[in-house]
Chains A and B, each alone.
Chain A
């Protein structure tokens, strides 16, 4: 069954059971999805990625599908409790019995209706129409949460599609550090992960998202972040897992003094297709942003980075940069980079650069000549290539988490 038919079938069963506000929200999302349809070959922002492999699978939308977190994941989680507060979602559902959060973070059920979330394309809207409301994390005015919050999103559902919607709100002058880890079971599954994040005036959010799904997973995410005046976001997206990935993040700078760093590192191997889209929009003047994305691709992996800087009319004194550097480890690996600048103000600084390079043979030989096997040498050089992105993560505990996944 195609994606859209699966959505319609699920809604027919499910909608009669929900309240009017939620029903309206889902019907609206469905109508937009139906009108737009799934992204096609000609859809410019999906130039390098076909949704066909995903649409060909026989997904069934899962509502409640509660399972336990596997023991090995529990052990891993326990090993991190010293450093992190934890919030665990299993198949989109909050698991309070294995979560542990400080009172500084107020947690409630996420609210679809009234969220104002709209998808960027037909697939995002289809995902919204069937999204399970997850959690809304709220940090009140002036609260500085000391311990970082680890949000674990685990999915295991054979040919199951679980769509999840979560919210983070950081109020005026409040501070929060988040490590989000997406992992799952071995059977093919589809995860669509939707997030709405708002930073009020002077708020700070440091955020690492680690997409380390299982190798047969299909993963789509859409994240929307708004920044009020003088707020700051430092976001790093690590993409390592999934057979098929499309991630899209939209960051809107709405008030003067807002600053966003949107960074990423992608490791692709085998036949992975990993597509990351980033749009940073300066709607207010005197705002700054940086995008730094690096990709390392081996085997027959294919990577895509579509980064965009938008500067609205009248948004003067904006400083924005966007860099994308890629390293190919094999002749059949591929990296596509599509930088875009759309600028409607004249007193701004915006620069961008993109490179695609191959492994330096002399470096490989240097490592081999010290007894390091060729495959290990290539992996080490791949890690070395992205080391600056890791070093820029502004919290040691988050950096350590990235390091964990470097060890094989």
Chain B
């Protein structure tokens, strides 16, 4: 579904990714772990198409309707309509825009692209309330302004709610566990697990292993110095947990 080849990228002229290779198939969960500053968040922003991140080399191919497309040539909104989703590490607050209006505008944009019937206000609310239950979110949050005054945990749940509503084929979760207490972490992880299917893929980006106790990955990659220095199964995450990141320094 996703093929990243020798991806290089810079932020403010400084090289952050130095040749990433990664293949993700439908139905898989991948985790990327790495110390701070290793380029994890940069990779997630590039997948979503953030304009501040400059790709300086390599390619990303993403399968749309069984044919590979050059993801880097697609605008961020088009990527989203074709099933790429980024759960933000720091979700943006949008005062004046209700969560419900936001979700419905996004949902209907995706529907139009996919040639699916758009949903009217009433049925959509019922649909969203069901999805909100997945992340144990009170429906009153739907009528509040997007993320405004939400706690850290509520913002992260709201991201997973958006994921549930848009049902992406490739979901990138950027440090979704950061700032969460253990109860919130469990709720968020359960929500994500319920969204796992054989047709979609999930890329977890995390600093800590504990998220992976609840969302069990098929593959774990270690990112260090802008490169994937090691890949393995979930046991690699446990090794990182017990030994820290220091042993990687020689590999970068």
Contact = CB atoms under 8 A, between A and B. Distances in A.
Contact of B88 (A366, A372, A387): A366
A91 to B, nearest CB: 38
Interface stretch (A18-26, A151-159, A173-181, A376-384): A376-384
A373 B51 contact: no
A331 to B, nearest CB: 16
B178 interface: no
Nearest to B95: A384
Contact of B51 (A361, A366, A377): A361
B97 interface: yes
B80 A368 contact: yes
Contacts of A376: 105, 109
B110 A371 contact: yes
B113 interface: yes
Contact of A368 (B77, B91, B145): B77
Contacts of B80: 368-372
Contacts of A71: none
A369 B97 contact: no
A370 B107 CA distance: 8
A374 interface: yes
Contact of A366 (B91, B95, B105, B145): B91
Interface in B63-110: 75-77, 79-81, 85-86, 88, 91-92, 94-97, 101-102, 105-106, 109-110
- State the main secondary structure of chain A at its contact with B: helix
Given A363-B92, A365-B51, A371-B81, A387 B97 contact: yes
B81 to A, nearest CB: 4
Contacts of A361: 51-52
B60 to A, nearest CB: 16
B97 A384 contact: yes
Contacts of B51: 361, 365
Contacts of B102: 367, 370, 380
A370 B162 contact: yes
B97 A381 contact: yes
Contacts of B97: 380-381, 383-384, 387
A372 B96 contact: no
Contacts of B91: 366
B114 to A, nearest CB: 10
A388 interface: yes
A162 interface: no
Contacts of A374: 75, 77
Q: Chain B: interface residue count, which band?
A: 20 to 34
A381 B97 CA distance: 7
B49 interface: yes
Nearest to B113: A371
A383 B96 contact: yes
A124 interface: no
Given A372-B105, A383-B96, A384-B94, A365 B50 contact: yes
A366 B92 contact: yes
Contacts of B228: none
A370 B81 CA distance: 7
Interface in A339-366: 360-363, 365-366
B116 to A, nearest CB: 12
Nearest to B90: A362
A354 to B, nearest CB: 19
Contacts of B75: 368, 374
A369 B86 contact: yes
Nearest to B81: A371
Contacts of B88: 366, 369
A386 interface: yes
A388 B96 contact: yes
B166 interface: yes
A250 interface: no
B138 to A, nearest CB: 21
Contact of A386 (B76, B92, B96): B96
B166 A371 contact: yes
Contacts of A368: 49, 75-77, 80
Contacts of B96: 383-388
Given A366-B91, A370-B109, A376-B105, 17 more contacts: A365-B48, A366-B94, A367-B94, A368-B49, A368-B80, A369-B76, A369-B85, A370-B80, A371-B80, A371-B110, A374-B75, A374-B77, A381-B94, A384-B94, A384-B145, A385-B96, A387-B95
Interface of A: 360-363, 365-374, 376-377, 380-381, 383-388
Query: Can you list the 6 inter-chain pairs with the closest CB atoms, starting with the nearest?
Result: A384-B96, A387-B96, A371-B80, A370-B106, A384-B97, A366-B92
22 contacts: A365-B50, A366-B91, A366-B92, A367-B102, A368-B49, A369-B49, A369-B88, A370-B80, A370-B109, A370-B162, A371-B80, A371-B166, A372-B105, A373-B77, A374-B75, A374-B77, A376-B105, A380-B101, A380-B102, A383-B96, A383-B97, A384-B97
